[in-house]
Structure 1
Amino acid sequence: MSAPNSLLGTLLHAVGGISASSCYLPSTKTKGWSWNTFWLAQSIFAWFIVPTLLAWITVPDFFNILSEAPSKSFWMALLLGGVYGFGGMSFGKAINYIGYSLTYTLAIGISAVVGTIMPLVVFGGLDDFFNKPGGSIVLLGMILSVVGVFICGWAGFKKEKDLDADKLNKAGFNMMLGLVLSIIAGVLSGVFNLSLEYGQPIADMAAEHGAGQFEGNAKLVVSTFGCFLVNFVWYIVVGFKQKTLVEFRPSKENKNSKTRLIKNWLLSSLTGMLWCFQFFFYGLGHVKMGDYQFASWVLHMSMLIFFSYIVGVIMKEWKGVKKETYTILIIGLVVLILSFCVTSYGSY
């Protein structure tokens, strides 16, 4: 295995953040599908097909490793991945209600804290958190990250006051419902990191088989499959109840329906690949962080928030806000960038 390199690890987390912050953009281009249908289609790729293919390609003896994996590690990773499945649903719906910027800030901000602290509480090590060389600097970076999240969230709430209420209502903006869903998504997203931690013995087995820096792909499959099962069952049931499963069939009345159906499937597969690649690069970055792998989660989440704001600006989610609100947003993003630098330096 190559030597730890915190700078490279930070860059890999940044690539993962770009992938994650843009993964739901293809949903805006699908035609003739309800949200339920799109979510079901993308879940097949995001949490089953793509992670399985990545593990099969990059991990020697992958299926043998799964069959020989420690029972507790396998089932806990699968179960907690399933719990995260409800968080994924909540996250997707929250975007519909309050947009990319606010959803990512609130949900990922919560996830950064929960996902970093929870494994230290469950597996131990919280008492030693501050005692490692550079630990206080890493802690400062994490605090700056939380401050940056708070400032960006403040900008988001000011945005709600700045924009015309009628326009927000027409766009389906619902701050209260979006806030509740974001909180649920944030807490359960933190649980996903706990799922990955439980699956670490599977990654260790992959390393022993020569997977090297791709060892994380072995445990990722188990966690995402739990997420897939929950989403697949849920949206199949919803599809039957709301009669949206027929959207998977081409319409006899519409001559272009087959082309549109193929395009929708391609967009769904792109969403799934982008979502999965965030954790592909997370796994690579996590290995490179060396002794400060515990900081990977908050660093990855901070990157995700930062790039989600870039996406939000490109999508003109902040068009029409007051100059003061936009200034607060920029300050928040600068603080987040500073937190990346401080965390990386502390881990180095």
Structure 2
Amino acid sequence: MTEGILLAITAGIMLGVYALPEKFTKGFQYENTWSLFFLLTMFVVPVIASVVLIQGFSEIFSEMPSELWIKMGLASFLWGIGVMMWSKAINYIGLSLGFSIFIGTVIFIGSLIPFAVDGLPDQESLILILVGILIVLLGIVLKGKAGLIREKDEALVDNKDSAAGNKGSMATGILIAIVGGLLATGFSYANAVGRPYLHDASQSHGNADWVTAVAVMFPIFISGGIVMTAYFGYHLSKKKAWKAFKTPAFGKNFLLILFMAVFHYAASALFAFAAFKLGEAGNTVGYAIYNTACVVTAIFSGIITKEWISASPKAKKLLYAGVACMVIGIVVIAMGN
């Protein structure tokens, strides 16, 4: 149990810091950084991890029903759009708000998806889950309000005027994070649809239980990566940003972005292993620990990188209150599940 808890915390921390290196790339435009990231995290890393870790890899996926490929592919396509919007939101409103609002929305909607797939739970569980969802929603609202106040605070500081103008509207960034979170719940549907077949197929080839998560992520990441390839390919050409890859800092940038890609993918895989170690509590307690660690880490990352240095005490209090609501809401949802 202790090992599972520590692994879940580690996975959450990894997801919470994966985008941090983006702040230290040089000579790259937004399109350069995130196109390279998505290429690595959606194609290169999943393919290598799947081939290495999954016994019977080719047999499992060559025999997978075409209907299942279609269902998982369409849901993962929407998830890909959502994750792409997540990266855009981080660029607009920073790590702390971008992460917490996006993940809060994912939890808010994702907690409702099982009702559509498995039906309503017993009354006591349903009440707990709905209460937890409302608390998470309150956290999203509080953090959104904190972001809007922060934007006004930064506008009052002379040396922040140009930076705030470059980042764009805080309200726009918050909206992008919320819509991205809504679309990203396609991951939950794809996982729910594909897991039964992939679990049985994985087990039949002698794989450990946790390897099922790696198998499920393969079609999800590949399908989700298609939309990102098209999006960034278009914008790299439209903004003539291809030439920015020739920067002298490319080697350093590549290593930073590779770190992002590995951490982004490994966080999911590590959580799957943590859930396996936690046994029956893996999908409830483990999920709460994982998301809580992620949100808290992202908030502290944003504070450390001085995203909130010009924010007023009121904005910071709302931010902390929003985080507290999310943590409490996640725990309540886990108890209900």
Mark yes or no: TM-score above 0.5: yes
- Aligning the two structures, in what range does the TM-score lie when normalised by the shorter sequence? 0.7 to 0.9
* CA shift digits 1:2-31 (9 cap, x unpaired): xxx5x7655444323222221122122222
Tell me if the contact between 1:206 and 1:215 (Cα under 8 Å) persists in the aligned partners. Answer: yes
Letter in 2 for 1:199: G
Q: Report what 1:211 is aligned to.
A: 208
Q: 1:179 aligned to 2:168?
A: no
Alignment TM-score, normalising by the size of structure 1: 0.83
Tell me which of 230, 233, 236 is aligned to 2:230: 233
User: Is 1:308 aligned to residue 298 of structure 2?
Assistant: yes
In structure 2, do the counterparts of structure 1 residues 114 and 129 end up closer, same or farther at CA, with 3 Å as the change threshold?
Answer: farther
Structure 1: distance between partners of 2:237 and 2:275:
41
Could you tell me which amino acid in structure 2 is paired with residue 170 of structure 1? Answer: A
Aligned match for 2:86, one of 59, 68, 91: 91
**Alignment of 1:162 onto 2:153:** yes
Pair 1:324-2:320 in alignment? no
Alpha-carbon distance change, 28 to 137 in structure 1, aligned in 2, over 3 angstroms: same
Q: From the superposition, tell whether residues 169 and 116 of structure 1 become closer, same or farther in structure 2 (CA, over 3 Å).
A: farther
Residue aligning to 2:268: 279
| DSSP 3-state at the match of 1:163 | helix
Counterpart residue type for residue 334 of structure 1: A
**C-alpha deviation, 1:131, in angstroms:** 5.5
| Residue in structure 1 matched with residue 103 of structure 2 by the alignment | 108
Query: What amino acid does structure 2 have at the position aligned with 1:325?
Result: A
Matched residue, 2:121: 128
1:337: how far off?
3.9
Alignment partners' CA distance in 1, 2:138 and 2:5: 20
Pick the aligned partner of 2:253 from 252, 264, 267.
264
Report the residue type matching 1:90 in the other structure. M
Distance 2:118 2:70 in 1: 20
Question: Residue 226 of structure 1: SS of its match in structure 2?
Answer: helix
CA distance 1:16–1:143, shift in 2 (3 Å): farther
Corresponding residue number in structure 1 for 2:140: 149
In the alignment, which residue of structure 2 is the partner of 1:253? none
Distance 1:168 1:284 in 2: 46
Match of 1:220 among 209, 217, 222: 217
Per mean C-alpha deviation after superposition, the further-off stretch among 227-236 and 67-76 is 67-76
Pair 1:336–1:90, CA change in 2 (3 A)? closer
Q: In 1, distance between residues paired with 2:111 and 2:332?
A: 17
Percent of pairs with identical residues? 24
Q: How does 1:8-157 map to 2 (within 5 A)?
A: 11-121=6-116, 123-125=117-119, 127-128=120-121, 130=123, 140-157=131-148
| Deviation per residue, 1:203-250 (Å, 9 max, x gap) | 332133223222200010110001111111221222223222233346
Cα distance change, pair 188–294 in 1 and its aligned pair in 2 (3 A): farther
Q: What is the rounded CA distance, in whole Å, between the counterparts of 2:318 and 2:124 in structure 1? A: 34
Deviation track 1:285-343 (CA, whole Å, cap 9, x = no partner) reads: 44446277378767644443222111111111111322233233333333444445555
Deviation at 1:137, TM superposition (A): 5.0
Q: Is the 8 A contact 1:102 1:156 kept in 2?
A: yes
Per the alignment, residue 254 of structure 1 pairs with none
- Equivalents in 2 of 1:44, 1:59: separation in Å? 21
Contact preservation (8 Å) 1:86, 1:230:
yes
- In the superposition, relative to structure 1, how do residues 194 and 292 fare at CA in structure 2: closer, same or farther (>3 Å)? same
Distance in 2 (CA, whole Å) between partners of 1:219 and 1:22 is 24
Of the candidates 268, 280, 284, which is equivalent to residue 290 of structure 1?
280
What are the ranges of 5 or more consecutive residues in structure 2 without an aligned counterpart? none
CA gap 1:151/1:302 in 2 versus in 1, 3 angstroms: farther
* Matches of 2:204 and 2:145, distance apart in 1: 47
Aligned residue pair count: 330
| Whole-angstrom distance in 2 between the partners of 1:55 and 1:76 | 20
Equivalent-residue separation in structure 2 for 1:158 and 1:289 (angstroms): 43
Deviation at 1:46, TM superposition (A): 0.8
Aligned residues of 1:216 and 1:283 also touching (Cα < 8 A): yes
CA contact (8 A) 1:239 1:245 kept: yes
Whether contact under 8 Å (1:199, 1:219) holds in the other structure is yes
TM-score w.r.t. the length of structure 2 is 0.85
Inter-partner Cα distance in structure 1 for 2:319 and 2:237: 42
CA contact (8 A) 1:23 1:271 kept: yes
